[in-house]
Chain A
Amino acid sequence: MKIDNHLIGRRAFLRGAGACIPLPLFQLSGSDRKTVRQRPRRFMTLFKPNGVHPPSWNVSGGSEFDFRLSPLMKPFEKHKQDVLILDNIGDFGFSSHASSTRRFLSGHHSNKRSASMDQLIADRIKGDTLHRSLELTTEGLFPNQIGCSYISYDKNGAPIPRESDPQLIFDRLFRNPLSNPTRRKEMKSVLDRVLEDARSLDRKLGGEDRRTLSHFLEVVRESEKRLEGLKENQRQLKLPTMNRPPLAGNLDDQVESMLDMIVLALWTDSTRCVTYMLGNSNSRMIFDFLGIREQHHYLSHFFRNFSRSNLESLLKISRWHMEKFDSLLTRLKSKREGDGTLLDHTLVMYGSGMGHSDNHTVTRIPMVLAGGKGMIRTGRYVRYDKNQELGRLHLALLQKFGVDIDSFARSEEPLPGLEHSDYQPYREREFASFVRADGDKITVQGRIRMSDNLDEAKIFFVDIMGQPSVRVEVGFGDFHRFNLAYHCGTGVILKGTGAKKGSQYIIKKVTEIKSLFGEAPGTLNG
């Protein structure tokens, strides 16, 4: 009998884990081996609320294999080779929070009578897992527009209740006596004691108290009997001293614990499909643990409620969202499975319902896929020539998971480009780039982008072929007046005053900025 390699790996890891969370062991019976060898495929999605600030999210220029991560992507830079960044996803000019959230996994907001794609995938891949899928969130319901609170919908199109508490998820997954014999034994002994104690309570009187006590004993006995009658589960988990996650002190603790639970759930093959919302789509959470006192939704309208400090706060929150994505990928990668990692066997979809969080456009929505070896090819930046229906992406993923389906929502054609370069890439008009100086007057033409360091939201760079980028520092008064952020990722001609420092030009005062091909800010809808 040959022992499966990856099992040794898992056991070895367990021993190494020492005082961290004690990890589960698989007890394999004959039939079990097969399912393990066939490596379960998993699907997991992480939803980011309130869209993004496009100037800091969008990739500036670049091509499929040669691109630079945007400032907001920096937190997960170390996973660059494990992610597939999709651009020009979404084809709506404007959308409400509720509709854009519905579309996130349902393809189109009018798709209200069928299951969201995660549920279709769950049905396909669930195998004999105890939990078909987990639907998770961080906050309560938003009754004013209930659609803001859900991404997963059942086969009738009804929203699936979500859970926010990592401890309750732990209980659901690992304290279930069905899967945990230790737990079963423990419960049995407590029940025996409760029965024994209750009997001693009997004060030998007739009447109501006797009747109530009898009924109580009845129920306890029944629960004991049910416990005894439990069939040993085929694929039994041995969880000797698993720790329940600690009490969450703030949102960050809560999310970190939940990510632990998710990874544990996937790794122990307790479930193969998880959806997790980092917040309602219009979340008004206050990120006090980041030192922010304004509501997230207010900040996400970064143009309507413009101020430097508001923008900095918004970017701090967005960066935190990205860090959680990074944290998820890191965790998934840390678990060995066979000749790869858990991430290899999990397709992760990270994104938001809308693109531009201030004017609610649903084009260029953030969409990053990760892991999913054999289904997608990572380490690439794929920008489609046209804005793509989200439904096409869903259809493509559904098919990759083996769901027998030829159309989803309103989309009939699966999105190409996920596994191969079989797509039409985005092409922009070519333009020359240069920098000219005349005394302290500097004129520069090139593609403008934000500084990678989001703490300095007032610093921009104009990229020029073959030369160091020109650094642009915007004064307080000019920040709003010239709105450099609006032009990020596109070609501009920018004039100002400044000096050369080493080989780099630095503009300290902007006097004019013009788009090479586009419109001036404020003249376009969206």
Chain B
Amino acid sequence: MERRNHRGFGNPSGGYPLLFLFSFMGYFRLLWAAVFILVAFGNPAFSQDNGLDPSKPVFKRFAEQVQPLLTRYCVHCHGEDESHADIDFGEISRTGQVADSFEVWKQSLQQIETGTMPPEDQPQPSPEEKEVVYNWYEELISSADPGPAAFQPRRLSVQEFRNTLRSVIGFDLEVAVVEAEQTVTEKSMVVKLLPVDPPGESGFKNDTHRNPLTLVAWDQYGKLVDAALEELFSESRRMMLEKWTGHLSAKGMTSEQAAGMLKAFIEKAWRRPVDTKDFNRRLIRMEASEGQWVDRLKTELKTVLLSPAFLYRGMRMPLQPGKRHPVDNFELAERLSYFVWSDMPDAELFQKALDGALAKPEVLERQLDRMLKSPRARALSEIFALEWLTLDEIEKLSNNPPQMVALKSQPLDFLNYLFRENRPLLEMIDSDVAFANPFTSRFYGNDSKQMKRYVKQRGIEVEIVPNQKIRLVETKERGGILTMPGVLSMNRGPILRGTWVLERILGEELPEPPPNVGNVPGNPKGRELSFRQRFEMHRSKQSCAVCHDRIDPLGFAFEGFNAGGNYVLRDFQPTKKEKKRGVTGKVVDKIDTSGQLPSGEKFNGIVELKTLLTTTQRRKVITHFVEKTMSFALCRKLGLHDQPTVRRIAGQMDRAKGSWRDLFLEIVNSSQFRETRSH
């Protein structure tokens, strides 16, 4: 019943939903329950809109060829009665979600390909039968029409809100707190006060579609907007204020100044030109109110910053009902700036939109390059890469902030360099450039001698030290993101390391481990087994092997690195703490670092693994890079209709040895980015 009520919102009469709302207010809780139900169980309007015509032959072929195979080999474990890993093939067929479930097909094919499914002790499909499924999946993808998803307005994420507010008012809203070395402070009032964003379906926090506005967040917006305006109108920000109003005389603000500022402020805060009708209404309201002009203006400005036009993206984008069409220049400018900067467009970008020139490919390209040069593009590493690669896990490694920052800033500085200096995509896997400071220099042997010596100032006991760029000559095994000390330490042991590479680099999805997994067994009586040997015993259990056959052989490539991230196949410099634990730093031999990829390719050690990832596995790795970047740029999970585009861009990047910048440009030029579609 609630579902039907929600569809009622589609009624095109302007006043109706509000009336409806009033009558509904008493049932606020009920409404929440309804929202929950919708989110949890997927109202068709919320579900992926794949744009596929159900009469296409690919669906007929599914029913005729694929469904019988599923029934024969899969459904008794993944059906109505038992739905292992939460997969119910029966339901997918019954409810017509064949196209929406493309990710299930993708994962299933991976499993079939590597032979992990169906399990060994079950009947196996013949090679011809497997071929039927592969071919059908290819047809499914190629029959999808690449293009934009249906339009959804989106609330700004915490980071985006912080940056946008700063860009509008001209200063960051800061908490008064002394930042001493070795302490953790939250300097941003926005970050401090707003509830933390949960990652969206895409895994990124900018995907706020399912993170609805709550009363708590609303209250905090109110406080932040108050604080922002209070400071803007305070004596200390007078210069800033006069940029809006011009010189303010001792008599105070005039009505013209108030009106002028209101207009300019709306344009900036809402990221598009002022709608005259709307503005006039506000002007009349301001004139009709009482008090000093400055106070009347403040009240109006507050409503501007509390408007959905400020708090959300896309609220004022022109839409053509029932059509697919390019977004207007202002929306394009916003999409670009929130992608590259996690911030609103700056004056130049806005001007390009105003001139109507932005949609021209060469203008857009020049703007992208300009924006990548701006320090604000650091957001790509600090937000996009950090969330993708779970780099915030590094924060848990040390409770000594300078030490922690050293470990965390290494991958961030490195990725920042790749993203902004036109470096090839695959340098993320292997590169001869690294960033280090005195806390991390011990990992780089003689290569650290390239660094300028750091001298602590008198009276400074500890402090955060910036990184320096070095070239890897002796410690080549350190190249790329996989073997940075912080990344190695945040994933301790072969299992976590293997899982991380599988999920974050190769883009495979693993189900949650069953609830009853134990620890790796200890040494059996009278036998000295290595961790690896003990684990291999454990892996003989079928329920574990399904995933661990993919994870572990990959993770063992990292056995040359200990928990602290030291490379133990060469003499190394242990820390004081490690020395206390008996770590000598002498080279350890007899370590088995051989392993294999899910595809079956064998390797020995980390260097060989990286070689495979950048050669035979290249397309797979690049495809995942494309998916992640596109998903972040579009602030949503990718759908079937995005797959042809992903494949096209990945192919292009692979052939042309594309750089990160090239990838960003391809995404910016894709129809998903440049167009929209409404119901």
Binding site for B on A (CB under 8 A): 138-144, 146, 149, 164-168, 171, 175, 186-187, 189-190, 193-194, 197-223, 225-226, 244, 246-248, 251, 254, 257, 279-280, 283-286, 293-299, 305, 310
- Residue of B176, B300, B314, B460 touching A248 (CB-CB under 8 A): B176
Whether B400 and A144, one on each chain, are in contact in the complex, defined by CB atoms closer than 8 angstroms, is yes
B180→A140 contact, CB < 8 A? yes
- Chain B window 220-242, contacts with chain A (Cβ cutoff 8 Å), 1 for yes, 0 for no: 00110011001100111000000
Near A by CB (< 8 A), chain B positions 388-413 give 399-401
| B175, closest chain A residue (CB) | A165
Q: A254 → chain B, closest Cβ, in Å?
A: 5
CB contacts (< 8 Å) of A208 on chain B: these are: 45, 150-153, 679
Tell me if B355 is interfacial: C-beta within 8 Å of chain A: no
Asked if B461 and A298 make an inter-chain contact with CB atoms under 8 angstroms apart, the answer reads yes
- A205, B21: Cβ atoms closer than 8 Å: no
Q: Complex: how many Å from CA A244 to CA B228?
A: 12
Hey, which chain A residues are within 8 Å of B22, CB to CB?
A: 221
Known: A201-B307, A216-B213, A220-B218. A167 touches B185 (CB 8 A): no
CB-based closest 4 A-B pairs? A294-B459, A140-B185, A206-B10, A140-B183
What mask results when residues 287 to 302 of chain B are scored 1 for a CB within 8 Å of chain A, else 0? 0000000000001101
B321 at interface (Cβ–Cβ under 8 A)? yes
Tell me the chain B residues, 150-177 only, with Cβ under 8 Å from chain A.
150-153, 155, 175-177
Interface contacts beyond A201-B307, A207-B45: sample of 8 additional A-B pairs, CB < 8 Å, sorted by A: A168-B175, A202-B14, A205-B321, A206-B679, A207-B150, A212-B308, A251-B178, A293-B457
Per-position 1/0 for B310-326, Cβ under 8 A of A: 01101110010100000
- Cα separation A251 to B180 with both chains bound (whole Å): 11
In the bound complex, do residue B285 and residue A193 qualify as a contact, i.e. CB atoms below 8 Å apart? yes
Q: What are 20 A-to-B residue pairs whose CB atoms are below 8 Å?
A: A139-B179, A140-B183, A165-B177, A175-B223, A190-B303, A193-B299, A197-B278, A200-B278, A203-B319, A205-B321, A207-B679, A208-B679, A209-B314, A212-B315, A219-B218, A284-B180, A295-B180, A295-B461, A299-B459, A310-B459
B12 to chain A, nearest CB (A): 6
**A214 and B185: CB pair below 8 A?**
no
A298 to B180 Cα, complex, angstroms: 13
Contact of B185 with A139 in the complex, beta carbons under 8 Å: yes
Chain B residues whose CB sits within 8 angstroms of the CB of A203 once the complex forms: 319
Q: A212 touching B181 by the CB < 8 A rule?
A: no
Cβ of B182 within 8 Å of any chain A Cβ, yes or no, is yes
How far, in angstroms, from A248 to B174 measured CA to CA in the complex?
10
Q: Give chain B nearest CB distance to A158 CB in angstroms.
A: 18
**Whole-angstrom distance between the alpha carbons of A206 and B218 in the complex?**
24
B36 at the interface (CB under 8 A from A): no
**Do A246 and B235 form a contact, CB below 8 Å, given A216-B308, A219-B214?**
yes
The A interface is mostly helix, strand or loop, or mixed, namely helix
Across the interface, which residues of B come within 8 angstroms of A254, CB to CB? Answer: 176, 178
Cα–Cα distance between A215 and B312 once the two chains are bound (Å):
12
Contact partners of B181 in chain A: CB under 8 A: 284, 295
A219–B215 CB distance below 8 A: yes
CB distance from A191 to the nearest CB of B (A): 8
What's the minimum C-beta distance from A198 to chain B, rounded to whole angstroms?
6
CA distance in complex: A183, B679 (Å): 42
Docked-complex contact A175 and B176, CB < 8 angstroms: no
| Interface pair A214/B17, CB less than 8 Å apart | yes
**Any chain A CB within 8 A of the CB of B678?**
yes
| A-side contacts of B152, CB under 8 Å | 208-209, 212
In the complex, how many angstroms separate the beta carbon of B351 from the nearest chain A beta carbon? 25
B454 within 8 A of A: no
Contact residues in B for A194 (Cβ distance below 8 Å): 303, 306-307
By a CB distance below 8 angstroms, the chain A residues around B307 are 194, 197-198, 201
| A175 and B219 alpha carbons, distance in the complex (Å) | 12
Given A139-B177, A215-B212, CB of A205 within 8 Å of CB of B319: yes
CB pair A205–B178 under 8 Å, yes or no, is no
Interface residues of B (CB under 8 A from A): 6, 9-14, 17-18, 21-22, 25, 28, 31, 35, 45, 150-153, 155, 175-186, 189, 212-215, 218-219, 222-223, 226-227, 230-231, 234-236, 278, 281-282, 285, 299-300, 302-303, 306-309, 311-312, 314-316, 319, 321, 399-401, 457-462, 678-679
Establish whether residues B183 and A210, one from each chain, have CB atoms under 8 Å apart when the complex forms.
Answer: no
Quick check: B319 and A215 within 8 Å, CB to CB? no
**Contact for B315 among A164, A213, A214, CB less than 8 A:** A213
Enumerate chain A residues within 8 angstroms of B182, measured Cβ to Cβ: 142, 144, 284
User: Cβ of B459 and Cβ of A214 under 8 Å apart?
Assistant: no
Contacts of B227 in A (CB 8 A): 167, 171
Tell me, rounded to whole Å, the shortest Cβ–Cβ distance linking A197 to chain B: 6
What is the minimal beta-carbon distance from B376 to any residue of chain A, in angstroms? 24
B458 touches A294 (CB 8 A): yes
Given contacts A201-B316, A212-B312, A244-B230, contact A143 B462 (CB under 8 A): no
A199 CB → nearest B CB, Å: 6
Q: Which residues of B contact A141 (CB under 8 A)?
A: 183-185
Cβ A298 vs Cβ B679 within 8 A: no
- On whether the beta carbons of B21 and A217 are closer than 8 Å, the reply is yes
Provide the residues of chain B in CB contact with A215, threshold 8 Å.
Answer: 35, 212-213
CB contact between B21 and one of A200, A212, A218, A223 (< 8 Å): that residue: A218
Cβ-defined contact, A210 with B9, below 8 A: yes
Q: Say how far B435's CB is from chain A's closest CB, in angstroms.
A: 24
- A140:B285 contact, CB within 8 angstroms: no
- Pairwise interchain contact A140-B218, C-beta atoms closer than 8 A: no
Contact B10 A222 (CB under 8 A): no
Closest Cβ of chain B to A286, distance in Å, is 7
A138 contacts B460, C-beta separation under 8 Å: no
Q: How far is the CB of A186 from chain B (nearest CB, A)?
A: 8
Contact of B299 with A187 in the complex, beta carbons under 8 Å: no
A200 and B678 contact, CB distance less than 8 A: no
Contacts of B315 in A (CB 8 A): 201, 209, 212-213
Query: Residue of B at shortest CB range from A253?
Result: B176
Partner of A223, one of B185, B218, B278, B399: B218
Q: Is the CB of A214 within 8 A of B9?
A: yes
